Structure 1
Amino acid sequence: MTSEPQQEPVAVGAAGAARLEAGVRLYIQAFFTNDHTSGPPFAAMDLDTTVLKDMTRRQQLCVQERLSLLEVDLSPADHGHEGSEVAIRSWGLRIPGSDFWFHGQPKGEGACQTRAIAVDELWSALQTDAETPQEEMPEGFAWFGGALVYGPDDLDDLLEVLEDYRPELAAKERELEMALAIAEEKSASLQQASTASPARRSPKL
């Protein structure tokens, strides 16, 4: 009997590796499976090198053992409980072979789940930064206040929710935008000054 090919770890590249070394908070859009109940609108996960390696290991195990998924007892680093009508009793991180999502179980019916994220798209997003034009970002991803945000259903709506629920992120985003604007203005001024400067003449012998 031939063994299944092992899934290769995703290469995150130099930029992604440096970002993971420092740590990145990822906010993921969430929904409630019961249409008549409002659950947390998002859940957050802190990403670093250890988390990446652990997730890759579990994905490989799913492939090798032909498992549909593995569930890890892990609660979100943050979630939008302010916008929820229910209290989540337990959380788990579900990891099949190629993506992952949070699953939260309340006391009553239904469940809270985040949108599934394809791991390769996540690592592509980690190669970008706040200066990356939105049209060049992987679909559904954006940087906001130094955090990575994933909202495939309605990214703008999720950003508005985070701005309301997490004003510290909005404040940091404004600081980053101001710093970027100042840097661009300074660069433009230097370029203009360089263009306007007359060429120096060589002295006559």
Structure 2
Amino acid sequence: MALILCVETSSTNCSVALASDDTSNATVNSFQIAHCIDFIEDNSSSYSHGERLHVFIDDLLKRNQLTVQDLDAIAVSEGPGSYTGLRIGVASVKGMCYALDIPMIAINTLESLSLQNTLPSDYTIAMLDARRMEVYASVYQGKELLETTKAVILDEDSFSRFRESGTITFIGTGVEKFEDLIKEPAHQYVTSNPTAITMCDTAVLKHKISDTVDVAYFEPFYLKEFKAG
């Protein structure tokens, strides 16, 4: 049995989950996730990942009667997202993987976010707030990636070819400002933070095919350079 720790710190949500390839289909926090054993998370606006992340990991392992030595790999949300949050999550996972000599798995944050969509629609557009009228966004049809992750400055024409050709579930932290901008009731709008829960199935799949990253050289997917202020 492969046991994988999943770590999500790309937003205000400090989230950790345990994934196993030896579990059956289950509903976890309303999501249909086959491989999630347990999770702990807290969505605090204070971005307290530095104080909470390792406490959450320790608590999660203890309540499942496990130690870090039981882990076969660790998955981390690679971004895009909060510069500081990503840096904390990736640095923590790199340190643990190096010390334990186990593989590190990177999962695109928007791919994981899109898996939260449980509503019927033709497309899923995952979007994370990138301040002002900008978002980081990807477009999916089911689990198929149609438009890769990019920074989008929102206006009335954003994603127009998808809006004209079918129904869309917009999901993420950038949803509210786009809903207010386009005011189209035909689509669905779900404001949500990324969570480690929806990393679990992808983490198990990547581990099975040895889709891992180099612990020493991996860097978060910031998408844009950090600017103070």
Q: What TM-score range do you get, normalising by the shorter chain?
A: under 0.3
The structure that is helix-richer by fraction is 1
Larger radius of gyration: 1
TM-score, normalised by the number of residues in structure 2: 0.25
| More strand as a share of residues | 2
TM-score normalized with structure 1 length? 0.27
